[in-house]
Amino acid sequence: MHTSYSEQTQPQSALQPSSSKVRKGPPDVLSLPSEKTLQTLKPNMPRDYQIIMAPIFTDFSQIDENLYLTGIGGMTRENIKNHRITCIVNTTYEAPNLRQPGIDSIRISVDDTPTDDIGQHFDIGVDKIAEHAKRGERSVVHCVAGVSRSAALVIAYLIKHKRMTLHDAFNHVRERRQVIRPNNGFFKQLIEYEKKHLGKASVKMITVEKEGVTIEIPDFFESEHPRTVQIEALKTKFKMQQQQGQKEQQSHTEDKKTNTQSDDELNL
C-alpha cells in the first residue's frame, strides 16, 4: 500500500509549511539500499553525508512495541524486513518515499528550520502511526538524521495517543535515542500541541546565559540535560565568532578595494 501525502483529502494549501515555498520531493523509489551498499558508498560521500551515516544517526531506535525512529542512513532493506515495518513516515522534502507492496508510505514535507510549520501535519502523521499500531503493526518515522523533524513527530504521537506530557515524551524518546533535539520552533509547536490534547503545558521556553551567549531552551533542559545546554551554547558562540570573522574579512576587503581605487585616481 502506498499513500502519497499529496493524495490526502486535505486542501493543497495545507500540504506545505505556510512559512515556506512549496517543495517538490524526489521521485519514489521501488527499493531501499542494503546496509552493505551504504557502507560501500560511504567513503565517496561528501563529509556531511558521512556524518549522518554514523551509527548514532543510522541506529533504528525502538520507541515502543510498534514504533521506531531513525535517520535516512537507517532506512535499509534489512531494517524494514527484520523489524517487520508496514508503515513509513518520511518527514523530509528531500528524501524519496518507498513505493513497495505491503508498505504504507507517507511524506510530511518540512524543512528543519524553526519557521517551518510541522505542527499542521502532526495529526495526519501520528494518526497514521496509531492506525497501524491498533492492528499490531509497526511504523518507522525518519528524517535525514533522526534528530529534529522525525523526533518532533514521534513526540507528538506520544502526546496524543499515549497521553504523555511533552516533558515525559521527550525524555522517553531521548532515553532511546540520545541524539534527538527538535529545533526550538518545533518545540514551541509541540507545546501548543500538548495544550490542545492534554489541556496544559508541561514545558515552556526560556532564555539563559551560557558561555557568554544567550540561548533559548526548553526550561527543563537546564536541570535535566545540562550537557546539551552547554553544547548548544558553544555552537552558538562559535557561529557568532564565524559571522564576526566574515564581517571583518568583508570590511577589510572593501577597505582594500577603496584604497586601490583611490590610488588609481591619484595616478590619473
Q: What percent of the chain has pLDDT over 70?
A: 85
Q: Pick the catalytic residue from 75, 98, 118, 143.
A: 143
Residues 126 and 211 in one domain: no
Nearest to 242 by CA among 221, 218, 213: 213
Domain end point (choices 203, 222, 252): 203
Residues 102 and 43 in one domain: yes
Q: Is 143 a catalytic residue?
A: yes
Residues 13 and 136 in one domain: yes
- Residue listed under C-alpha cell 506545505: 16
Residues 173 and 239 in one domain: no
Cβ(261)–Cβ(254) below 8 Å:
no
Amino acid 68: pLDDT? 98
Q: What is the pLDDT of residues 109-133, one digit of tens each?
A: 999 999 999 999 999 999 999 999 9
Residues 216 and 90 in one domain: no
Domain end point (choices 188, 203, 218): 203
Residues 20 and 144 in one domain: yes
Residues 262 and 189 in one domain: no
Amino acid 177: pLDDT? 98
H-assigned helices in the chain: 35-41, 47-52, 55-58, 77-82, 122-134, 149-161, 166-176, 184-198, 221-224, 226-266
Residues 44 and 155 in one domain: yes
DSSP state of 44: G
Give the pLDDT mean for 83-110: 94
Higher pLDDT, 28 or 154: 154
Domain residues for 220?
A: 204-268
Amino acid 94: pLDDT? 92
Residues 33 and 134 in one domain: yes
Residue 101: Cβ within 10 Å count: 6
pTM of the model: 0.83
Number of domains in the chain: 2
Domain end point (choices 185, 203, 221): 203
CATH number at residue 197: 3.90.190.10
Residues 161 and 248 in one domain: no
Residues 145 and 252 in one domain: no
Q: What is the pLDDT of residues 230-266, one digit of tens each?
A: 999 999 999 888 887 777 677 666 666 666 665 555 5
Residues 47 and 141 in one domain: yes
